Structure 1
Amino acid sequence: MDYLYSLILFAVVSSATPGPNNILVMTSGLNFGIKKSLPVLCGICVGFSFMLLLVGLGFGQVFELFPRLHVLIKISGVLYLLYLAWLISSSSGGLGAKQQSEPLTFLNGALFQWVNAKAWVVATGAIAAFTVSGGEFSTQTITLAGTFLVISFPCVGIWLYFGSWLKRYLNNAAHRKWFNLSMSGLLVASVLPVIGELFEQFS
């Protein structure tokens, strides 16, 4: 039972703390509202749990055999995150739906996990901390992925609700534009450690 309590606490902290997923969801909530942002919320929660399951069941061993593949994924992830930051910063500050781009889809949220640096850190850390080698490893991995699936919805959903709540107060186009720019800056800041790591590898 202590194991389950510790796992739940880890899942809550990992899912609720600021990161690319939550910034993305909060910005979507502000610009498009809760209903239109539900697909990307579901994509993030389901996508990360599926990623965690695959990593735990041996996908991480592929990177040990082909380390360059991991580097390529990191580079792709950085470029994609920077692209998303640009989309957020260039999003219209107006309230008219026609002035804004379309909200991200379920597939966007799910695939985003594979290029999300924080998602990789949490996934590998969770596997290392909450599984042991042996016959129960697969069961523990499935339990781990299932726990994150259940916990992530309310934890990430809070950020979506907060973004939607802010919509009531940021009804000024200039204010919404500054909010989008701030969220874009935070997203870029979350990528900087990965960029630094890549520079060290190639220097």
Structure 2
Amino acid sequence: MPLKTWLLFVTTVFFVSATPGPNMLLAMTHGIHHGVRRTVATCLGLMCGLGLIMVCSVAGLGVLLAASERLFSIVKYAGAAYLIYLGVKTWRAIPRQLQAMTEDGHRHKPWTMFRAGFWVALSNPKAFIFFAALFPQFMDAKLSQGPQLAILSITFFIIEACWQFIYASGGARLAGWLNTARRLKLVNQLSGGAFVGAGLVLSAISRS
């Protein structure tokens, strides 16, 4: 994989993972209530759930790439269009204030926190579409698919894990800052703009 392609992937995933979606909000909330050390169990659950989704998506991409280079190119353009759609939807989303979580002693157990993270990660079927839309933008159908998929997957995992721990460790301050409709609206607009920009840039790269 060319270095410039990998650096573009790193930049894209850096901003995409920073978006305060369900996974990051769960890590942040558990960080507020339980501290960073105990929230490790939650983050592990989130990563296991994402890993399962990624394996299923990557397996499908591998079969598609082996079957037809033209069909793979179609998926790349469709993926870029989906990123643009996701950006517009995020920009227009109605901001909702964060809700405090009331948890009892049973929910403090590491296994329960791990399970919560795992099911939150799996609860969003759009994640399957997201991986199928994102990964093909940075893959070359003429090169070996295995190493490319491995590099993209490992890179995504590292960046995603780092952001989860950032949200968990800075949970209290971040939650206080985000707990206004005006600031949540700003976050939605910045995130939506990043998605749209990524989709436009990646579609231009695909054409060239």
Which TM class, normalised by the smaller chain length? Answer: 0.5 to 0.7
Q: TM-score, normalised by structure 2?
A: 0.55
Indicate how the Cα distance of structure 1 residues 94 and 55 shifts in structure 2: closer, same or farther if over 3 A, else same.
Answer: closer
Aligned residue number for residue 133 of structure 2: 120
Of 137, 140, 149, the residue aligned with 1:145 is: 149
Displacement of 1:188: 1.6
Answer yes or no: is 1:168 the counterpart of 2:181: no
- Tell me, in whole angstroms, the C-alpha distance in 1 between the residues paired with 2:135 and 2:186: 24
Displacement of 1:22: 3.7
The CA deviation string for residues 80-135 of structure 1, in whole angstroms up to 9 with x for no partner, is 98269837x31x3353348xxx977232456414146xx6344332x218x53xxx
How many residue pairs get aligned? The number is 175
Q: TM-score, normalised by structure 1?
A: 0.56
- Tell me, in whole angstroms, the C-alpha distance in 1 between the residues paired with 2:195 and 2:100: 29
What's the C-alpha RMSD, in Å, of the aligned pairs?
Answer: 4.8
Displacement of 1:163: 0.8
Unaligned runs of 5+ in 1: 199-203
Of 183, 189, 194, the residue aligned with 2:193 is: 189
Unaligned runs of 5+ in 2: 32-38, 104-115, 204-208
The CA deviation string for residues 149-189 of structure 1, in whole angstroms up to 9 with x for no partner, is 444333211101111122132463xx232464443223321
Of 51, 55, 60, the residue aligned with 2:57 is: 51
Indicate how the Cα distance of structure 1 residues 164 and 150 shifts in structure 2: closer, same or farther if over 3 A, else same.
Answer: same
- Tell me, in whole angstroms, the C-alpha distance in 2 between the residues paired with 1:18 and 1:32: 22
In structure 2, what residue type is equivalent to 1:95? A
Indicate how the Cα distance of structure 1 residues 186 and 114 shifts in structure 2: closer, same or farther if over 3 A, else same.
Answer: same
Indicate how the Cα distance of structure 1 residues 197 and 65 shifts in structure 2: closer, same or farther if over 3 A, else same.
Answer: closer
What percent identity do the matched residue pairs reach? 9
Aligned residue number for residue 201 of structure 1: none
Indicate how the Cα distance of structure 1 residues 65 and 78 shifts in structure 2: closer, same or farther if over 3 A, else same.
Answer: same
- Tell me, in whole angstroms, the C-alpha distance in 2 between the residues paired with 1:44 and 1:85: 26
